[in-house]
Structure 1
Amino acid sequence: MGGFVAGPDCCGGLCNMDFRQADLCVMTWLLGYVDPSDPHFVAAVLAITFNPLFWNVVARWEQKTHKLSKAFGSPYLACYSLGGAILLLNILRSHCFTQAMLSQPKMESLDNPTAHRVALMLLGVGSTLVLSSFLALGFTGTFLGDYFGILKEARVTTFPFSVLDNPMYWGSTANYLGWALMHASPTGLLLTAVVALIYMTALLFEEPFTAEIYRQKASQSYRRR
């Protein structure tokens, strides 16, 4: 990247900063390595932002109108279709993430055996969380089946939900972080921070809404007794 240089070493005194200052310092440091105007970087940010927005808007619309279920003739078929769309969008997101890393310089200090071992560990942990979450929830539980009226009898508390809330999201974040370290990519690290921020924002909307769906179910079951 012509004329693109690393940012100033503002992180030498992290021990004297509070966490908010440290976060700002790290982000400033990463931005010194990243060209945010690069089309691949922009595409990755858009894909990361769009995916949770898409599935939340569509799922809430379905929960209020049931139009997808009516169009497909079954809530299960509608949920499977939305799940398939989400999977395709996630593949596109991962492709954009990788292309953004490949289009920008590596960070030489991260290109070493220790970082590679950490990357492999993160990919292993992340994949375990994602796959075990899917097995515990099933397809409809993973892909917003509760918005389609496909509700579970009880909250899932088996692994990995026994050790971590929202393991699918945090497993996915760990995978992106591991992938970024594997490529020694400051761009990947910055995009991973965007992934984590978008997931945390999505949870602010998803968790109360899902809790309300199950509260209404419990209330209806109580009235039938």
Structure 2
Amino acid sequence: MTRLLDYVNPSDPSFVAAVLTITFNPLFWNVVARWEQKTRRLSKAFGSPYLACYVLGGAILLLNLVRSHCFTQAMLNQPKMESLDNTAAYCVGLVLLGVGVVLVLSSFFALGFTGTFLGDYFGILKEARVTTFPFSVLDNPMYWGSTANYLGWAIMHASPSGLLLTVVVGLVYVVAVLYEEPFTAEIYRQKATKSHKRN
């Protein structure tokens, strides 16, 4: 780890921007989603929980593009690590990127737009929690697929700053899961209880 830090200038503006966007994104969407769940203000403002969810989803996508841009700029503005700058490492990065893309896309197709972008906070629930692939092999595959994408991208660029930023991405997602998972489990438990009482 010390060797990695020798290649990283944490005061570089592009690195600081990357850290800020990485940490801000999940904080933003979790705060907005919880606020919506408690107040229904977005649903009322847009006249529909679906439209409000689509707007939040669009904002999240835009912020994710900004985050990826900042991540890439931070890598390009800092030195490469010679030991990672080879064909074998590049291929490993490419495989990780491929795995990440499969996890992210298959999660999206399994959940749909509203399931991916916090529809449960808007009261938009599926019949039951999704348990098909990739959820059958991994909890929170969207987050871990995204982390694999960043790791693969960092390795392909032989970037110590990218590796360090990927650690930040992973840690932020761990915190997001700790925050989101109990809520999701509870709302589907409540839905199952209501459905059982009706039957």
2:124 aligned with 1:134 = no
2:130 aligned with 1:151 = no
Q: Where do residues 14-33 of structure 1 align in structure 2 (5 Å cutoff)? A: 26=1, 28-33=2-7
User: What amino acid is the match of 1:214?
Assistant: Y
C-alpha displacement of 1:214: 1.6
Give the structure, 1 or 2, with the largest relative contact order (CA under 8 Å, sep 6 or more).
2
Q: Distance in 2 between matches of 1:155 and 1:29?
A: 43
Show CA shifts across 1:160-205 (max 9, x none).
1111111100000000001001111000000000000000011111
Q: Distance in 2 between matches of 1:159 and 1:39?
A: 40
Q: Distance in 2 between matches of 1:151 and 1:157?
A: 14
Equivalent position SS for 2:134: coil
Paired positions, count:
199
C-alpha displacement of 1:130: 0.4
Identity of aligned residues (%): 82
Residue 139 of structure 2: which of 149, 165, 170 is its match? 165
User: What amino acid is the match of 1:47?
Assistant: T
Q: Distance in 2 between matches of 1:154 and 1:222?
A: 13
Q: Where do residues 1-225 of structure 1 align in structure 2 (5 Å cutoff)? A: 26=1, 28-225=2-199
- Alignment gaps of 5+ in structure 2: none
Q: Distance in 2 between matches of 1:214 and 1:207?
A: 11
Q: Distance in 2 between matches of 1:147 and 1:56?
A: 10
C-alpha displacement of 1:30: 1.7
Tell me if structure 1 keeps the 8 A contact 2:128–2:188. no
Show CA shifts across 1:22-49 (max 9, x none).
xxxx2x3321210101110000000000
User: What amino acid is the match of 2:57?
Assistant: G
C-alpha displacement of 1:218: 2.5
User: What amino acid is the match of 2:44?
Assistant: K
Show CA shifts across 1:112-163 (max 9, x none).
0000110110111000000000001000000000110000111211111111
Show CA shifts across 1:53-89 (max 9, x none).
0000000000011000000000000000000000000
Q: Distance in 2 between matches of 1:99 and 1:175?
A: 16
How well do the aligned residues superpose, as a CA RMSD in angstroms? 1.0
User: What amino acid is the match of 1:166?
Assistant: N
**Is the deviation greater in 209-218 or in 170-179?**
209-218
Tell me if structure 1 keeps the 8 A contact 2:129–2:188. no
- Alignment gaps of 5+ in structure 1: 1-25
* TM-score between both structures, scaled by the size of structure 1: 0.86
